[in-house]
Amino acid sequence: MYLPEYRDHSIVNLMSAILKAYGNNSIYKPLRNLDVDALRRSTNLVLLVIDGLGHEFFIQHVKKGILARLPCEKITSVFPPTTATAVTTFATGLAPQQHAITGWFMYLKELGSVVKILPFVPRHGCSAQGFTGDYMQRILGCEPISSKLNVGSYFLYPHFLHGSAYRIATSRGAETIAYESLSDCLSKIAEVVKSNRRKKFMYAYWSELDTICHSYGTRSPEAIKHFMELEQNINKLIRELRNSNTTVLITSDHGLIDTDAEDFINLNLHPELAATLTLPLCGEPRVAYCYVRPSRIRRFREYVSAKLSPYCTLYRSQDLIKKNFFGLQEPNEKLLDRVGDYILIMKGNYVVKDFIMGETTHILKANHGGVSKEEMYVPLVEITC
């Protein structure tokens, strides 16, 4: 089991270093081996987050250009290592222990609903418009880093996320820029860098590698080809930024593991277990949060032990909070509500899912959110231009 190194070697600590470089305090230590003073001296600081770029994948496939020549730091994501949780850490500088965004599916007592948190719509899908940005801001319950930095801040998102409630809540105080393609994204970074000589912070999020891995797998020609395209375009960007006193930090939210049909545990085929739950499974297919009927706790535990123990390990949610799986220091008062009564952490390459009325049964070729090294470790490459 590979867990986040919140003390000084996770993406939380990376964000603490960035905050410190701009004169802000953090409850987490800065990332070890990252020179905060050098970040402070840079006119432009660019944080490029490539969704799904695990450290293992990066080391295996990086071939040429500047990414192959520079040292690559190996740091951890957060728990669970999944997009919703990790990008909220990038946006707030805090661990899940504090920001309490705990996975793709979240039960929000405040709304009386299980929601898909990034599109911020009910899981049942009957409300196409979803909830408002104001609601998302209240769900988040902490300030984004964009409201704290005393420099010009620019957040770059793909066009389909630009107007989302999540984007609005997590980028307050920043100028947000929508892009249409990878080349457009990196071109817009260069444009912002060259727009003036004032100090600037840029956060750019690229999602396509994760999407391709989900559809085809991490070992697929499609995923490898796209990573080569990323290398080529990043090399072009670095050449364009030469002599601009810019630091580019390239990292990710998580890696992925490949999953086959035989790795899939369908909760709908375990009706006796489903009958012990008050809600559908929340969280992720690799880390599932279980809300259990008080009168059925014993049966729930017995069933998991007898039928599912080869595929997962059962934990009490409050125990994992106390053991600092989600972060250090005082937890958000809403955290326990959002991780259920029990947590299933999947073994090997197994995933567990249920499907509610209206959902299509489907299996992704690759998944994330678990505690394998492929999912937990992400690269960090620092480039000085």
**pLDDT tens digits, residue range 75-122?**
999 999 999 999 999 999 999 999 999 999 999 998 888 999 988 888
- CATH number of the domain at 118, please: 3.40.720.10
Q: Is residue 158 part of a domain?
A: yes
Q: Is residue 142 part of a domain?
A: yes
Same domain for 239 and 353? no
Same domain for 181 and 278? no
pLDDT of 160 reads 85
Query: In this model, does residue 129 exceed pLDDT 60?
Result: no
Name 251's bridge partners.
49
Q: Is residue 1 part of a domain?
A: no
Q: Is residue 6 part of a domain?
A: no
Q: Is residue 5 part of a domain?
A: no
Same domain for 213 and 298? no
- CATH number of the domain at 284, please: 3.30.1360.180
- Pairing status of strand 121-122 against strand 152-158: unpaired
**Can you give the residue range of the structural domain that contains 70?**
11-258+372-384
Same domain for 152 and 58? yes
Distance CA 197, CA 194 (A): 7
Residues 6 or more apart whose Cβ sits within 8 Å of residue 9: 31, 32, 75, 76
Q: SS3 for 105?
A: strand
Omega within 30 of 0 (cis) for the link into 271: no
Same domain for 297 and 221? no
Same domain for 170 and 188? yes
Same domain for 249 and 276? no
Q: Is residue 28 part of a domain?
A: yes
Largest CA distance in the chain: 66
pLDDT of 299 reads 98
Rounded to the nearest angstrom, the gap between the alpha carbon of residue 324 and the centroid of all alpha carbons in its chain is 18
Mean pLDDT of the chain: 93
pLDDT tens sequence across 35-84: 999 999 999 999 999 999 999 999 999 977 778 888 899 999 999 999 99
Same domain for 238 and 347? no
In 132-220, which residue ranges form alpha helices assigned H by DSSP? 133-140, 165-170, 182-195, 208-216
Q: Is residue 3 part of a domain?
A: no
Same domain for 285 and 225? no
Same domain for 18 and 64? yes
- Pairing status of strand 351-353 against strand 264-266: parallel
Same domain for 242 and 308? no
Q: Is residue 63 part of a domain?
A: yes
Total domains present in the chain: 2
Helix 182-195 to helix 221-240 angle (10° resolution) is 20
Same domain for 133 and 213? yes
